[in-house]
Each structure stands twice: as structure tokens, then as C-alpha cells.
Amino acid sequence: MSVFMRRATVADLERIMVLERATFEADAWPEDAMRREIESEHGYYLVAVDDRLEAARDAAADGGTEGTDGTGGTEAAADSAAGLLGYAGLLAPAGGGQGDVQTIAVAPSTRGIGLGRALMHALITEARRRHVAEIFLEVRADNPIARALYDSLGFEQIGVRPRYYRGGIDAVHMRLTVPPAVTRPADAGPPSSTASATRRAHGADLGTGATP
């Protein structure tokens, strides 16, 4: 599998909704709301896709009858619909100085390999580009994995909204003061350990500077 991230378009809406509904179930956004988010000039939505399946999908969309793997066009398109590995969205009106992480989800089969972190780093980088000073988000109190991710990126808890979600689950309101981009000299040399390589992959190389 080869993963890459790009801006989401309405052409991605259908498969985003498949993952959205599977992930958030009763709390899933309506399709209309998701469409507005993706199309909004103030939004920044990304999808992470499987490169190989994306190529097959493009070939099918171009009117070919066969995918790159020799399957029929419809089959290739269906394959590539399953090739959505994750998505994430930021809302940050120009000049507003503040942004919100609207959503993030990674397909269950590709969780735990760094995709969620990469998507978050990309949103933070875009926020910095838009001169956003603070990013806010809400997370279910009973979601330790997402909370660990946000904690590690430097988000701090600033409040709790009692029984905000269905089932009476509290929402934890968090804020990140967008850190400056980290740069390092071109001749900084190779990493001294695997750990430092991992830190760079998660942090400075993606331009967020959010990882210590």
C-alpha cells in the first residue's frame, strides 16, 4: 500500500460518507453538511488514499473499461471506493485567527500506523499558513485514542460540555496554540536513532513543529 494525502473534493463525498457513517454511527454528519464543509472556501479537507487504488479509480473515471489490475471499470471503481484510508477537516475563515478541527477519521484497517497524526499535522500546517493562532476541537470524553493524539500534539483541555454527545457522553473542549514552524539546518546530518527519525517523521519534516 502506498498512501498519499490530497485536498478532498465533492467527488470524494460518497466514500467519505461511507467512512463517516461507519465511524461515527448515530453522530455521523448528514451528507449535505459534509458537502458544504468540503466546498466551503473557509474549509480545508484532506483525504488519505491508497495510491494504487486511486490510479485505478482515475482510469475508470476516464472512461476506460479496465482498471490497472485488469478488472472491469465498475469493479475498479468499487475497489477504489474502499481505498479511502482517512479524512480530516479544518474550518478556518481567512483573517479570523482561529480554526476548528471539524472531523478526523482513519479507516479501521489502517489505524495505528501514523495516518491520524499525519492528517493532524497537515491541518496544523495549513492553519499556520492561514495565520491561525489557535485551533479548537471537541472530542468525546470516552475516546482515549483521539485524546492521546491531541494531547501529544500539544492540545490542552479548556472545558467540558456535559452530555454533549448522544448517550450522555461529555465533550472535552481543547485548544492548541499553533506553534511556530520548526526549521533545521540543511546540514543537520542523519538521525542519531530510530526514535529521532520517528520524531522527525511525525513533526519537523511535516512542518508542524508540534512534536517535542
Least Å distance between CB 171 and ligand COA?
9
**Cβ 146 to ligand COA shortest distance, Å:** 4
Residue number with the smallest Cβ distance to ligand COA: 116
> Which range touches ligand COA (CB under 6 A), out of 7-15, 61-69, 145-153, 155-163?
145-153
* Smaller CB separation from ligand COA, 69 or 156: 156
d(CA 172, CA 66): 48
- Is 106 near ligand COA (CB under 6 A)? yes
In degrees, rounded to 5, the angle at the alpha carbon of residue 147 between the alpha carbons of residues 183 and 107 is 90
* Residues facing residue 89 across a β-bridge: 45, 103
At 142, is the secondary structure helix, strand, or coil?
Answer: coil
82 and 108 in contact (C-beta within 8 Å)? no
Active site residues: 138, 150
Question: What is the 8-class DSSP label of residue 143?
Answer: -
Q: Is there binding between residue 148 and ligand COA (CB under 6 A)?
A: yes
143 lies in the site for ligand COA, by CB under 6 A: yes
Sheet with 84-91, strands from edge to edge, namely: 3-7, 43-50, 84-91, 98-106, 134-140, 169-177, 156-165
Contact call for residue 145 and ligand COA (CB under 6 A): yes
Q: Is 105 in the site for ligand COA (CB under 6 A)?
A: yes
Per-residue burial over 98-110, b if 16 or more Cβ lie within 10 Å, else e, is: ebbbbbbbbbeeb
The window from 2-10, 51-59, 108-116, 181-189 that contacts ligand COA (CB under 6 A) reads: 108-116
Binding of ligand COA by 1 (CB under 6 A): no
Burial category of 199 from C-beta neighbours within 10 Å (exposed 0-12, middle 13-18, buried 19 and up) = middle
Distance CA 13, CA 7 (A): 12
Contact residue for ligand COA among 111, 173, 175, 200 (CB under 6 A): 111
Q: Which residues, numbered 120-139, are part of the site for ligand COA (CB under 6 A)? A: 139
Identity of the residue, 94 or 160, whose beta carbon is nearer to ligand COA in the bound complex: 160
Given the rule CB under 6 A, which residues bind ligand COA? 23, 104-106, 111-117, 139, 143, 145-146, 148-149, 152
